[in-house]
Amino acid sequence: MLVESLSVAALAVVLICAVVRPFGRPEAVFAVPAAGVVIAAGAIPLDDVRDEAARLGPVIGFLAAVLVLAKLCADEGLFHACGTWMARRAAGRPRRLLAAVFGLASVITAALSLDATVVLLTPVVFATAARMGVRPRPHVYASAHLSNTASLLLPVSNLTNLLAFAATGLSFTRFALLMTLPWLVAIAVEYAVFRRFFAADLAAPADGGDAAEPPRMPLFALVTVALTLAGFAVASTVGVDPAWAAAAGASVLAVRALVRGRTTAPALVRAASLPFLAFVLALGVVVRAVVDNGLGDALGHVLPDGASLPALLGTAAVAALLANLINNLPAVLALVPLAAPSGPGAVLAVLIGVNVGPNLTYAGSLATLLWRRIAHQHEHHVRLREFTRLGLLTTPAALVLATVALWVSLRLLPA
């Protein structure tokens, strides 16, 4: 009983500190000691710690490479060009800007992960809205919601997907094919609700100008990203970990930036966000201790079996609820091993739950928490009531319809 209580307390401390970030310290400052405590108390054997580290190692390596790749793309001017493109595309019309943000955020989230959308695109959205003289609320909220919802498409779009990818037993390409329809459906639901929810903001006339100059797209960065995505598919086909393709893409841009004097080795290390990588590993150890000491059995009683439509809906609902209770990263770590015996469809339903579900609350995903901090830095007050109302209107509908779309995809594309 003592180790169970200690494991739960350690997880609570890790999650609360990740949300609050006392004294502005990184999440790892609290997560690593918490992992040390559960190990020292015997809540998780050392052999299991090594197994967890071996399982998460490739995921953490991949995450580091993608973070560096996204930062180097920003340094190349990719996100500035995106802002210029959005302004020109909108032509002073808020509704067209919202459509541009939806399209761009969906693609960036899918290709460069949700972190790129939150950290790199959100400031660009603020700047574009200010330049056009439109109300920023609909467009800024779109970057938050799509950083979660639009991360359904590829194994590389979200850390949750990476953590679950191996358990699906799918290739990179098949994963993408099965998730394309749920991805499109979820985004469509979000867009329809946003058009109505922010109707007054979108009807307000723009009082600024739009971008006169055409966007100067950095072709080298675009080609590198495209080849990296192709590398993910090829690597998966031949049994090579996608982390190597990500590392190759990041290395190409890094060498170019170093030769041209646009970055430094310390800057590349900072871009890899080593404290966050340590946080992910420590969180995995703590969650494994909680799962092994009671949570796994409890979830096993409520998680449906099989890949029928009711089972998939139930699995997605449980995953969404758990994500909003304990955050989506612990939720996917806890649920994937339980869902895997039911086949890839059940694991993909878990991903729908932990990726779409977090739009309901601030604490549902770390990306949303990070987005809120960025919004505050731009003096944009995020109101809890408004965030929750929008989440209640979008999340249940997107969750149900995306899961139905997954069930259809599984029937149309059988193994």
State pTM to two decimals. 0.87
Kindly state the average pLDDT of the residues 318-325.
92
- Whether the pLDDT of residue 65 is over 80: the answer is yes
- Whether the pLDDT of residue 217 is over 70: the answer is yes
Kindly state the average pLDDT of the residues 297-319.
93
Tell me the pLDDT tens digit for each residue of 166-184: 899 999 999 999 999 999 9
Q: 175-184, 223-232, 355-364 — which one is most confidently predicted on average?
A: 175-184
Among 358, 350, 351, 352, residue whose Cα is nearest residue 304: 350
Kindly state the average pLDDT of the residues 98-118.
91
Sorting pLDDT into bands at 50, 70 and 90, what band is 396? very high
